[in-house]
Structure 1
């Protein structure tokens, strides 16, 4: 496979479930066509099911996780959280500019922006460096207006109904 002729910038955001899942579906489809996919996860640990499954799709799909156990509260980030977010963005930049990916998924980067771990300016500068044949996907709630404006495709997940409303907790293999 020769790669993509034209890459775009996609954003999956909104309050509902399905943002990362949509991006991972894109990774699966791309893998089927022999495209190289790198998933860089912000604010996540390797405890999620996708981290265990994607190595089965190697070498077309690679996942790299940057984060620590526990939750980050707005205004309560630790120095390690900032370091991990910056390391994730640097790793993604190197891969994108090094020509080793066709599709780059920045999973939960919008949340990293929301929590102030990265600035909108840093991410917009990153997007400005994107080679034209690389597809970049940004996931996470609270996508800032500047990121939305820079994107070619924006999908907002809107919650209509969710099992949490019935007291059903997150289920292994479904929500994580």
Structure 2
């Protein structure tokens, strides 16, 4: 049996990062060290405060402001590449038991980082590290490689009624 697995939380529904943070809290409460690298994200979301309460969790926002409504700029591309190099190093270390690559699928979608390089690094990681990948548009190659895939499907969302992200609930 394997020692660790690859999880993917994808889809257009709400809850991908929330599920990953829940897994991080569970792992930390079991004494495991967790690293969360947030690709693309630069806004300070409330989940970043978890490190003030749970010392076994490290969160780094590795992106700039979200560029979903604009084309990525050169700085976004460089930030994604640097983020990936950092996470690739962490995947080979013995420092963490769980590594969450939050919104990395968006970096694939915008072709900011090389999908094959990420797949190779995950396959060749320290075999004690559980990996969680989050974000919309998970490529089929990631889905095929993963051991667990959950698709969040939007059925209904208050955002379509003009409700913006609410503090403590959506951000």
TM-score in same-fold range (> 0.5): yes
Distance 1:70 1:128, change over 3 A: closer
Residue segments in structure 1 that go unaligned for 5+ positions in a row:
none
Which residue pairs with 1:143 in the alignment? 138
Residue of structure 2 equivalent to 1:41: 38
Aligned pair count reads 170
Structural mapping, 1:1-176, within 5 Å: 6-58=3-55, 60-73=56-69, 76-176=71-171
- 2-side partners of 1:98 and 1:157: how far apart? 31
Q: Is the Cα–Cα contact under 8 Å of residues 73 and 115 in structure 1 kept in the other structure?
A: no
Deviation of 1:46 (Å):
4.7
- Rounded to whole Å, the distance in 2 between the matches of 1:116 and 1:131 is 26
Cα separation, 2, equivalents of 1:83 and 1:165: 33
Partner of 1:92, secondary structure, is helix
The alpha-carbon distance between structure 1 residues 70 and 43, as it changes in their structure 2 partners (threshold 3 A), is closer
Whole-Å Cα distance in 2 between the matches of residues 73 and 165 of structure 1?
A: 16
Asked if the contact 2:91–2:122 (Cα under 8 Å) also holds between the matched residues in 1, the reply is: no
**2:40·2:66 contact (CA, 8 Å) conserved in 1?**
no
Displacement after TM superposition at 1:73 (Å): 4.7
CA offset at residue 6 of structure 1? 1.0
Task: Flag as ranges the 4+ runs of structure 1 deviating above 4 A.
Answer: none
Distance in 2 (alpha carbons) for counterparts of 1:129 and 1:151? 13
RMSD after superposition: 1.5
Normalising by the residue count of structure 2, what TM-score does the alignment of the two structures yield? 0.93
